[in-house]
Amino acid sequence: MPVLQTVMQQSGVAFGTSGARGLVAAMTDEVCAAYTQAFVNTVQGAFEFKQVAIAVDLRPSSPRIAEACAKMLRQLGLELIFCGAIPTPALALFAQTRKIPGIMVTGSHIPFDRNGLKFYRPDGEITKSDEAAMLASELQTLSETTVSLPEETPQARAEYIQRYKDLLGDQALTGLKLAIYQHSSVARDVLHRLLSDLGAEVVCLERSDIFVPIDTEAVSAEDTQRGLDWAAQYQVDAIISTDGDGDRPLISDEQGNWLRGDIVGLLTAQALQISHLAVPVSCNTAIEASGYFQQVARTRIGSPFVIAGMEALQKEGATSVAGFEANGGFLLGSHIPQSPTLQPLPTRDAVLPVVTLLAQVKAQGKPLSQLVAALPQRFTASDRLQDFPTEKSKALLSGWTADPADMLQSLELAEQVSHMDTTDGLRVTLQSGSVVHLRPSGNAPEFRCYVEETSQLAAQSLLASVMAQLKKFA
């Protein structure tokens, strides 16, 4: 019998930093069924269940992929609960609450010609060891039967919205005027309903029937200008959006300036009185400089590594634990002091940071820009080179790690290196304190660059300079 490793190698659909992803053309019914079967085989070794929940994003290919997963679930004798088009964290909450596995069909922010699958055990995201077990799992052939997705169950959407209404209380955002950049985010209607129910005045913008790949870590120049224009036109307190599957927030201040995801995470963790944090190595050093946290554990990039970091903190005795990523996705690893009934949700979530920051704006009577200005002033910027083969970026980083002087010369950096970090890619701190971090994307053939400086202008200038040099290697 074949194993999933063989299917992965033949199809090119492979595990990245968050689930399995590949070209839609490569995600055939047989490939999707193979991943589904390997997932079930792996989870059945630790849990008993008779149902599996599935949800989809708004990509045109997602329903067909969900049907392929459903075929295999039916073939394995399992009942499918279809949760419809909802945010990934809403599916995770639904599955976790019922102690059943979940499968989310989504490619997140990557272009629409690609898609993916995210897998949830009854207790949360699959781990890297689960991925290894899936790859070794033996597979049976998908039968030729036709299976249609059952009628959508409304509970997953409703329970996710209620989670945050219970957290903040009725009319908690009354008096705020907010814009939602809807594009093709699967969270667009959930956000509209929730923010309206919480009392905010809501303006909906740019709803699209065509999939729009929004990357919260690399906001386009067009979307940067949109934010400024919308803020001036509508006079809002904030503009709210997410990536495609609603697990990463995109939030602007009242002036239309999009906040970096790690700044959103820092403000959220502060407001929730988190004492111990796990964050990727790429996040802003203002986190430590703020002095808000008893301990900050730095991890590789990707929610499985952040989750492992949170679990390690809890094993050491920490009781107030969270994590977040540079993309803004916030992972709640424990209960929080001010709301002991809010259940932990250790997967990336866009809505918790959104409502938390808006509640802070309301409670403190200060615009979002002032909350940001009160933080230590370290500024980050990031960009990516698309269609950059992973093998090429790995080779470059291997050479530069062995010979930092070559990196300095290749990127035209005039300073010496004071510190190198190879936790994930190559993160170099220069003598002035400037940071340049390079790494291959775990989800697509992209070469990512993150920089950190003492001003936003300096960060943008450094980023532009480094990206110009990197393009010579494309």
Q: Residues with catalytic annotation?
A: 108
Cα-based angle 402, 15, 121 (whole degrees, multiple of 5):
130
Report whether 159 contacts 165 (CB < 8 A). Answer: no
Bridge-based pairing of strands 345-349 and 330-332 is antiparallel
Q: DSSP strand E in 260-312: where?
A: 276-280, 295-299
Distance CA 119, CA 95 (A): 11
Distance CA 339, CA 376 (A): 27
Residues 6+ apart with CB under 8 A from 460: 381
**CB-count exposure of residue 242 (10 Å: 0-12, 13-18, 19+):** buried
Dihedral-angle region of residue 184 (phi above 0 means left; psi in -120 to 50 means alpha; beta otherwise): alpha
**CB-count exposure of residue 54 (10 Å: 0-12, 13-18, 19+):** buried
Report whether 160 contacts 351 (CB < 8 A). Answer: yes
For residue 165, what are its two tokens? Answer: 């209404």
What SS3 state is found at 281?
Answer: coil
Cα-based angle 257, 258, 259 (whole degrees, multiple of 5):
110
Cα-based angle 16, 357, 292 (whole degrees, multiple of 5):
80
331-336 own/partner pairs: CB under 8 Å, 24+ apart: 331/303, 331/306, 331/307, 332/272, 333/278, 333/307, 336/272, 336/273, 336/274
> Would you tell me how many other CB atoms lie within 10 Å of the CB of residue 191?
27
Question: Kind and range of the H or E element at 221?
Answer: helix 221-234
Residue 123: HSE in the Cβ half-sphere, 13 Å Cα cutoff: 10
Orientation angle between helical segments 29-44 and 128-135, nearest 10 degrees: 120
Distance CA 424, CA 300 (A): 5
CA dihedral 301, 307, 308, 309 (to 10 degrees): 80
